[in-house]
Amino acid sequence: MPEGDTIFRAARTLHRALAGKTIVRFESVLPHLTRVHDDHPLTGRTVDQVRSAGKHMLMHLSGDLVLHTHMRMNGSWHIYKPGETWQRPRRDMRIVLATADYEAVGFNIPVAEFINDRDLRRHPVLGVRAADSPTAPLENTLGPDLLAPAFDRDDALRRLRARGSEPIGDVLLNQRVMAGIGNVYKSETLFVSGVNPFTRVDALGDSALARIVDTARKLLTVNVTADMAPMTTYVGFRKTTGKDDPNERLWVYGRARQECRRCGAAIQISKAGKDARLTYWCPTCQPS
């Protein structure tokens, strides 16, 4: 399940492989992408930068063009050397962008579009919108990226407090509040923070909200700073417990009815939110 850490690692790897290189081949099964390539060919352009923004990936190309992709549940990017056998079947291919040294292959990517830098600022998800007050400054539609070097903690806390009547578990999944958290980090962050996922935001004090923000940033950061091969986009299971054993890597996520690693109580599971996402928590360590 791609969350902020997965996209960050993939973007970092794609940047290492492609940045500064000239595109020699572009291929896609998505007609709206191939139309752009037919009218304004990608071949001959340079890859300037590949970066992540929460769960979104942005590949900046010369000539004022950006390839924006979102993985949703099943999408992924792979890096191969020319002629190397793909690890996924060709029927899953959606995008191929190749240089002389590497080819980046996007598999099962459900969201992909070309935009220019000007339209990027106007993008309904990635862009900038007017704040509620006409005299207030503009603000990013996407919340502060938890993995950004210049993460704006104060803005994240402000956006959290603005969701006062909503359960904290639902709010953490809202990318307009903070970008990068998915279902795994939602449950893991709240367990480590000792907060029940169904508690309303306005029932939590400033110290609890700050602890949640800091914990989320710490857990995601740990999972992108581990040693990895220079051209690897996937490094195995994420972990939040600090243990390398695959059976002990997470505190609560995916462990329904198993014993809590701290207190021994049975881990609970429930569907919550508009998409009925699964939530895991310990009733003893995270009392309501």
Active-site positions read 2-3, 55
Q: What phi, psi does 159 have (nearest 5°)? A: -70, -35
Q: Which amino acid is at 231?
A: M
Non-local (6+) Cβ contacts of 75 within 8 A are 2, 69, 94, 106, 107, 108, 109, 110, 111
Q: Among 217, 160, 155, which residue's Cα sits nearest to residue 192? A: 217
Report in angstroms the alpha-carbon separations of 70 from 6, 108, 282.
12, 10, 32
Reduced to 3 states (helix: H, G, I; strand: E, B; else coil), residue 200 is strand
> CA 221: distance to chain centroid?
12
SS (H, E, C) 97-114: EECCCCEEEEECCCEEEE
C-beta atoms surrounding 225 within 10 Å: 11
Number of residues that make up the chain: 288
Phi, psi of 246 (to 5 degrees): -55, -25
